[in-house]
Amino acid sequence: MIEELAKASVRMRDRGRVDKIIQNMQTAGPSELQVISDFDMTLTRFAHNGKRCPTTHNILHSSSLISEDCKAKMSGLLAHYYPIEIDESKSVEEKVPYMVEWWTKAHDFIVQEKIRKDQLAQAVKDSGAMLREGCKSFFDMLNQTSVPLLIFSAGVGDILEEVIRHHEVFHPNVRVFSNYMDFDENGVVHAFKGDMIHTFNKREGALLNRDQFAQLARSNVLLLGDSLGDLNMADGVQNIQNILRIGYLNDKVDERRESYVQSYDIVLEKDETLNVPNAILKYITAGK
């Protein structure tokens, strides 16, 4: 029923189940649908022309807002902790302390750089941040059909917002749940607000902030992620009838294929587009 699902880069554990969920969602229509999506490497590209694209944290790298010393330190953190984040041989429990360390150190380094809020928009413009191909249609379609989009990100919320503003897709149906910088009376960052969100505590974040999710009060959820830590992003939603989880498998594809196929309903391998989510959304919202 959806041509894009027949592509070689699309893997499904149980095609019949996927079809059934999509059919249920189509029958209920867009007024019962909400989308919960991760941001970095899910709505943004993993790579372009063979080069890695920056995460919201790493957008600061290409900017003049942080010192060379800080850039080197942040790169060092990435080189050390990213392999742990995606290591198939380690359990989530084993990874959590490393993630807490990574985020704590990264946020401390950022705070030391005395970045001003009014400098962020330009830094994002100058960076190589790229949304996936088809992302504008994705945001526009959700807005036109009044489907709420909750972006749930362990990245930096202030930078994330600038990225979607820059691409002219920060529509009124979009809400962001992320790590936000706290600025002093001079507009200079001096801390990060609230509880830190890292790759593997999104479930706790969702459960502790049920009110954020309750506002949506829709029974069908389309979930998009790229990490196994994104699977529980909808745990704060009450009374879910149908949930379809779509996972981008960007890196270490052969090693991680099996666990992704076991965890996500649809796995998209090395796919830098939103063609599959867009085709599913079109089917559900257009009632075709």
Catalytic residues: 38, 40
Strands 149-156 and 220-225, sheet pairing: unpaired
201 binds ligand TMP (CB under 6 A): no
Count CA atoms closer than 13 A to 46's CA, side-chain side: 19
| Residue 102 touching ligand TMP (CB under 6 A) | yes
DSSP class of residue 44? B
Assigned token pair, 26: 């189509």
The footprint of ligand TMP on this chain (CB under 6 A) covers a number of residues equal to 18
The encoded tokens of residue 31 equal: 């007024």
Find the shortest distance in angstroms from Cβ 155 to Mg ion. 8
| Residues between 152 and 211 that touch Mg ion (CB under 5 A) | none
Residues 6+ apart with CB under 8 A from 30: 145, 146, 147, 284, 285
Q: Does 32 bind Mg ion (CB under 5 A)?
A: no
The least distance separating ligand TMP from the CB of residue 206, rounded to whole angstroms, comes to 13
13-72: contacts with ligand TMP (CB under 6 A): 38-41, 55, 57-58
Please state the closest distance from residue 226 (CB atom) to ligand TMP, in A.
Answer: 6
Q: Binds 77, which of ligand TMP, Mg ion, none (CB < 5 to 8 A, cut-off by type)? A: ligand TMP
The CA distance from 244 to 265, in Å, is: 6
Q: Which does 103 bind (CB under 5 to 8 A by kind): ligand TMP, Mg ion, none?
A: ligand TMP
Least separation in angstroms between CB 28 and ligand TMP: 28
Among 4, 21, 36, 40, binds Mg ion (CB under 5 A): 40
74 binds, among Mg ion, ligand TMP, none (CB under 5 to 8 A by kind): ligand TMP
- Rounded Cα distance between 257 and 205, Å, is 27
Q: How far is CA 214 from the centre of its chain?
A: 20
Residue-wise DSSP of 228-269: GGGTTTTTT-SS-SEEEEEEEE-SSHHHHHHHHHHH-SEEEE
Judged by CB, which is closer to ligand TMP: 114, or 282?
Answer: 114
Residues that bind Mg ion (CB under 5 A): 38, 40-42, 226
